[in-house]
Amino acid sequence: MIRDNFYIILVAIFLVSIFNLSCASDNPLSSEIQSKTAKQILDQSGTIMNSVSSFEFRLSHKNVSGTRIGDLVFSEATGLLSDTNSMVIEAKFLFGNLTLSGGFSTIDNTAFFLNPLTQKWEVTEDSITPLSFFDPEKGIEKILSSTTSPKFRSNSEKYWNIEGSMPASSLSNLVGDTSDNNVEIIVWIDKDSLYLTRAIIFGQLNGYDDSENMNEIQRIIDISRFNEEIVIENPLD
């Protein structure tokens, strides 16, 4: 049971991070950008993010213990992705009163699982191709199209800061059951590269969120090391 739920969590972590990567979209690298709308910048940045070959991400929470998927609640995660067949994710999650650490990795179509009880890597029959989630037909574009009323929140020399909202149900294919409300999202897009460097989702995602003020719940994704040479080694070597 722990193992099955942990697989689901790690895939969801990755999907959430990729979803927010794609959230940053549309933007040309010239003075023309000054006349672009927030939606156009999001769309163009999304196109650029789809061409990213490697990155690092970190997922964390504020004002809530974590995000519940199945019987587990994950509180934080870090991950590396180097190409369509290589990634590694390490996460901390709650199982009852226990805080456990685990991980998941794929290398050349071989999947590995970091057992949270033994803390040893194992080969698993599960197979995930991470970058397949960039495929619009697999849900990312559908989620992004649910973003409503994007607008500029603030401006700086380095980043475009854009906010919008979407139904929590837009993320149901990532986390299962969701609540019947909207969540707010804020993204930071680098003006020079148009890479999405940070995304924050505010609000209640499902009935398991345990905060006195649901609007203060934050799920934070930081993304970096775009297109760097990232080597993911076989954890059994």
Q: Is residue 6 pLDDT above 60, yes or no?
A: no
CB 174 within 8 A of CB 22: no
68 falls within a domain: yes
- CATH number of 7's domain: 2.50.20.20
Q: Identify the weakest region by mean pLDDT among 15-24, 51-60, 168-177, 203-212.
A: 15-24
94 falls within a domain: yes
pLDDT band at 224 (very low <50, low <70, confident <90, very high): very high
Q: Higher confidence at residue 85 or residue 36? A: 36
120 falls within a domain: yes
Amino acid at 135: D
pLDDT band at 139 (very low <50, low <70, confident <90, very high): very low
Q: Higher confidence at residue 81 or residue 175? A: 81
Q: Identify the weakest region by mean pLDDT among 145-149, 185-189, 210-214.
A: 145-149
229 falls within a domain: no
| pTM given for the model | 0.78
Q: What is the model's pLDDT at position 140?
A: 44
pLDDT band at 68 (very low <50, low <70, confident <90, very high): confident
Q: Is residue 65 pLDDT above 90, yes or no?
A: no
Q: What is the model's pLDDT at position 163?
A: 92
32 Cβ contact partners less than 8 Å away, ≥ 6 residues apart: none
Q: What is the model's pLDDT at position 138?
A: 43
Q: Is residue 232 pLDDT above 70, yes or no?
A: yes
Q: What is the model's pLDDT at position 11?
A: 54
232 falls within a domain: no
Nearest residue to 41 via CA among 53, 50, 52, 32:
32
CB 230 within 8 A of CB 54: yes
What average pLDDT score do residues 6-34 get?
49
What residues pair up with 196 in beta bridges, in sequence order? Answer: 189
Domain that holds residue 68: 2-224
Q: What is the model's pLDDT at position 7?
A: 53
Q: Is residue 210 pLDDT above 80, yes or no?
A: no
233 falls within a domain: no
Q: What is the model's pLDDT at position 191?
A: 93
What average pLDDT score do residues 84-91 get?
81
User: What domain count does the chain have?
Assistant: 1
Task: Report the residue count for the chain.
Answer: 237
